Amino acid sequence: MESRASRAGLGIATVLVIAFLWLPLLLIMAYAFNGSTIQSWPISNFTLHWFHEAWHDEEARSSLGLSLKVGAIATTIAVVLGTAAAAAIYQFRFFGREAVSFLLLLPLALPGIITGMALNSAYNFAGVPLSTLTIVIGHATFCVIVVYNNVLARMRRSSPSLVEASMDLGADGWQTFRWVIWPVLSTALIAGGLLAFALSFDEVIVTFFTAGAQETLPIYILNHIQRGQDLPVVNAIVFVVIIVTVIPVTIAQRLTGGDAGVLRRGTTGSKV
Amino acid sequence: MAELAEAGALRGARLRLSTLLWRHPRVKLALLLAAPVLAFSVVYLGSLVSLFISAFWQVDAFTAKVIHTWTLDNFRTLWDDHTYWRITGRTIGIAAAVTVTDAVLAFPLAYFMARLASGRTRAALFVLVLLPLWSSYLVRIYAWRTILAKNGALNWALNAIGLPDANIAYTNWAMWIVFSYVWLPFMILPVYAALERIPDNYLEASQDLGAKGSRTLRSVILPLALPGIVAGSIFTFSLTLGDFITPALVGGAGSSFIGNVVEEQVGQPNIPFAAAFATVPVIIMGIYLVIARRLGAFEAL
């Protein structure tokens, strides 16, 4: 349908846009191996020294620990709440059904600064001191929708008659869950959980408003970039962060059979 | 024997519970919904409401305590001070520029993915678009900060082909590039989804009726892709409108966004004023969403 010239043009544009998306990432990853302490391009003298430095940096280590902890707890909360909400929305028609999915989507649809500020001022009014727990609550609010979307999408693609057949054959609720529902849902749950974790692991804005003296890894990076401090160490950490987020996303995509809907962080929400 | 009886009793209890839930689906619904809805209404909605109520409060200049008397003073200050108008204008202007840029960059790629690429290439392109979307947004801004810096890769490349340095670090140009970069995948995906849904025979029909390629693009493809573009623009526009990290990291002095003022005021702490200014992007987005809905963007999401 398209003429040969327009095909070629579109092909070239595609390559250029993909290059635009990837060159900055590859470039900043290269900086991790920069032998010089000066941030200039091209990098000089390949070294692995900064990975060693980063590994032994107390502040970086404790912020990594906090990020992993917050990510794990927030993901757990998101899996429980997201699955329960998805099951309710899938099985029932009730008044306010649309409102529930809208409510869950809200923290992702509104700019992060609104969510962050709202929680910050609520903690302030309630006299709750900022702590790890306040960060976890902040992260859980925007992670729920990711699990919810994944689980709901999977439920919609599976046949409800499976559950009925299981009940007809005399299985109780637990047995039906264990042998019929779980095998269908498990990969969607794991994928949703991984994506929620990736989202939490990277988050800066909500964290910025809900963290007190605590420093998650992104906050550590932000502080160091702003002060221009220990940038070589930051580069090594950034390299690791890119790898760490790429892995769960890739696994999640495999688990869902490359289903387009699953990874559309922003766009899936409103598909509901 | 005792074990068997115990197992039987346990199974009996489970069966009774299953039957109860089956007979009374409302109980099951309540059990499923209670936790998520309660958590969200109390924590999230409660916070949002309290935030917007506090926009009508004041902070005592001496004690820095919030005074709970109703007043429109925060909004009056915003209205009267030209600085806030300028900041709002800058925020909206750059958000609009970023949205247009992303639409222009996303369209050819999305078109190629949806209509020209083979299954395998399409899957590969999908991953190549998704991974940057999910990789840390802070890291991607930082990457541009180093690229645009005086000794960065951009000037190195320019010098290599004999051009002088482009001094765009810490300017509005830098913000425009970085925002366009960071939100681009959010535009590509809905545009791709819209283009993929156009049936092939529409294009054939257009061709049979004698339309040239450009006419088909203008009269068939673009109108059908528009909801996808508008859907993508919701993200690019809203995300730019609410950001404060990008201006802080790659913007120069005097390139504050609404978000930067809000962040600064929260730190003061003057939450009432911050809340008042934060209503501005929320209202703009509200209007934007109404228009987007008219254009059919919600079906394209």
Minimum-distance CB partner of B142 among A82, A103, A238: A238
Which pLDDT score, from 0 to 100, does residue A238 have? 92
Q: Find the range with the poorest average confidence among A68-82, A188-202, B8-22, B123-137.
A: B8-22
Could you please report the per-residue DSSP string of B242-281?
T--HHHHHH--TT---HHHHHHHHHHTT-HHHHHHHHHHH
The mean per-residue pLDDT over the stretch B160-168 comes to 86
Mind listing the pLDDT tens digit for each residue in B205-260?
A: 888 898 888 888 888 889 889 988 998 898 899 889 989 999 999 988 888 999 99
Which residues of B fall within a CB distance of 8 Å from A100? 33, 36-37
What is the rounded average pLDDT for all residues in chain B?
Answer: 87
Judged by CB atoms closer than 8 Å, whether chains meet at B32 and A246 is answered as no
Which residues of A fall within a CB distance of 8 Å from B298? 270
Which pLDDT score, from 0 to 100, does residue A89 have? 87
Spatial separation of the C-alpha atoms in residues A169 and A163, rounded to whole Å? 10
Which residues of A fall within a CB distance of 8 Å from B46? 122
Q: Are B238 and B285 in contact (CB under 8 A)?
A: yes
Minimum-distance CB partner of A172 among B14, B184, B189: B14
Spatial separation of the C-alpha atoms in residues A53 and B162, rounded to whole Å? 38
The alpha carbon of residue B133 and the mean position of all alpha carbons in its chain are separated, in whole angstroms, by 11
The mean per-residue pLDDT over the stretch B144-167 comes to 89
Give the pTM: 0.84
Q: Is B202 on the interface with A (CB under 8 A)?
A: no
Of B108, B86, B111, B247, nearest to B182 by C-alpha is B247
Of A26, A29, A30, nearest to A44 by C-alpha is A30
Judged by CB atoms closer than 8 Å, whether chains meet at A141 and B44 is answered as yes
Which pLDDT score, from 0 to 100, does residue B1 have? 57
Residues paired with residue B66 on neighbouring β-strands, in sequence order: B59
Which residues of A fall within a CB distance of 8 Å from B22? 167, 173
Q: Is B45 on the interface with A (CB under 8 A)?
A: yes
Which pLDDT score, from 0 to 100, does residue A35 have? 79
- Tell me, what DSSP letter sits at residue A37? S
Q: Are B182 and B245 in contact (CB under 8 A)?
A: no
Chains A–B, number of C-beta pairs less than 8 Å apart: 276
Q: Is B209 on the interface with A (CB under 8 A)?
A: no
Which residues of B fall within a CB distance of 8 Å from A208? 263
Spatial separation of the C-alpha atoms in residues B228 and A266, rounded to whole Å? 13
- Structure tokens that stand for B115 in this block: 């209509």
Spatial separation of the C-alpha atoms in residues B230 and A37, rounded to whole Å? 45
Exposed, middle or buried by CB within 10 Å (0-12, 13-18, 19+), for B131? buried
Which residues of A fall within a CB distance of 8 Å from B115? 2
**CA distance, residue A118 to nearest chain B CA (Å):** 5
Q: Is B84 on the interface with A (CB under 8 A)?
A: no
Which pLDDT score, from 0 to 100, does residue A162 have? 82
Residue with tokens 């693609």: A157
B178, closest residue in chain A (CA to CA): A24
Of B78, B48, B54, nearest to B67 by C-alpha is B54
Which pLDDT score, from 0 to 100, does residue A198 have? 86
Which residues of A fall within a CB distance of 8 Å from B204? 1
Spatial separation of the C-alpha atoms in residues B131 and B133, rounded to whole Å? 5
Which pLDDT score, from 0 to 100, does residue A269 have? 34
Note if the bond before B227 is cis, omega within 30 degrees.
no
Judged by CB atoms closer than 8 Å, whether chains meet at B47 and A122 is answered as yes
Which residues of B fall within a CB distance of 8 Å from A253? 127, 130
Which pLDDT score, from 0 to 100, does residue A264 have? 41
Report the relative pairing of strands B66-67 and B58-59 from DSSP bridges. Answer: antiparallel
Percent of chain B with pLDDT over 90: 32
B54 CB neighbour count, 10 Å cutoff: 25
Mind listing the pLDDT tens digit for each residue in B169-195?
A: 888 999 999 999 999 999 998 899 889
Which pLDDT score, from 0 to 100, does residue A161 have? 83
The mean per-residue pLDDT over the stretch B127-154 comes to 90
Minimum-distance CB partner of A85 among B18, B36, B123: B36
> Residue B299 — very low, low, confident or very high, per pLDDT cuts 50/70/90?
low
Minimum-distance CB partner of A3 among B132, B204, B213: B213
Q: Are A63 and A237 in contact (CB under 8 A)?
A: no
Q: Are B146 and A27 in contact (CB under 8 A)?
A: yes
Q: Is B147 on the interface with A (CB under 8 A)?
A: yes
Which residues of A fall within a CB distance of 8 Å from B8? none
Of B129, B299, B139, B153, nearest to B230 by C-alpha is B299
Q: Is A222 on the interface with B (CB under 8 A)?
A: yes
E strands in chain A = none
* ipTM of model: 0.84
Which pLDDT score, from 0 to 100, does residue A263 have? 38
Helix (H, G, I), strand (E, B) or coil at B60: coil
Judged by CB atoms closer than 8 Å, whether chains meet at A10 and B137 is answered as no
Judged by CB atoms closer than 8 Å, whether chains meet at A141 and B248 is answered as no
Q: Could you report how far apart the first and last alpha carbons of chain A are, in Å?
A: 34
Residue with tokens 């609550």: A137
Minimum-distance CB partner of A266 among B50, B152, B186: B186
- Structure tokens that stand for A221 in this block: 């990076």
Q: Find the range with the poorest average confidence among A58-67, B3-12, B93-102.
A: B3-12
Spatial separation of the C-alpha atoms in residues B141 and A244, rounded to whole Å? 18
Spatial separation of the C-alpha atoms in residues B295 and A80, rounded to whole Å? 36
Spatial separation of the C-alpha atoms in residues B9 and A106, rounded to whole Å? 45
Q: Which amino acid is at B89?
A: G
Judged by CB atoms closer than 8 Å, whether chains meet at A80 and B259 is answered as no
* Bigger pLDDT: B8 vs A204: A204
| pLDDT at residue B135 tops 80 | yes
Judged by CB atoms closer than 8 Å, whether chains meet at B134 and A265 is answered as yes
Q: Is A40 on the interface with B (CB under 8 A)?
A: yes
Q: Are A253 and B127 in contact (CB under 8 A)?
A: yes
Q: Is A44 on the interface with B (CB under 8 A)?
A: no
A237 CB neighbour count, 10 Å cutoff: 26
Spell out, as residue ranges, where chain A has pLDDT lower than 70. 1, 257-272
| pLDDT at residue B288 tops 90 | no
Which residues of A fall within a CB distance of 8 Å from B25? 91-92
Judged by CB atoms closer than 8 Å, whether chains meet at B29 and A94 is answered as yes
The mean per-residue pLDDT over the stretch B48-58 comes to 87
Of B177, B252, B165, B254, nearest to A24 by C-alpha is B177
Handedness of CA A236, A239, A244, A247 (dihedral sign): negative
Judged by CB atoms closer than 8 Å, whether chains meet at B139 and A264 is answered as no
The alpha carbon of residue A59 and the mean position of all alpha carbons in its chain are separated, in whole angstroms, by 23
Q: Is A84 on the interface with B (CB under 8 A)?
A: yes
Which pLDDT score, from 0 to 100, does residue A270 have? 33
Q: Is A15 on the interface with B (CB under 8 A)?
A: no
Q: Is A19 on the interface with B (CB under 8 A)?
A: no
Which pLDDT score, from 0 to 100, does residue A25 have? 94
Judged by CB atoms closer than 8 Å, whether chains meet at A39 and B146 is answered as yes
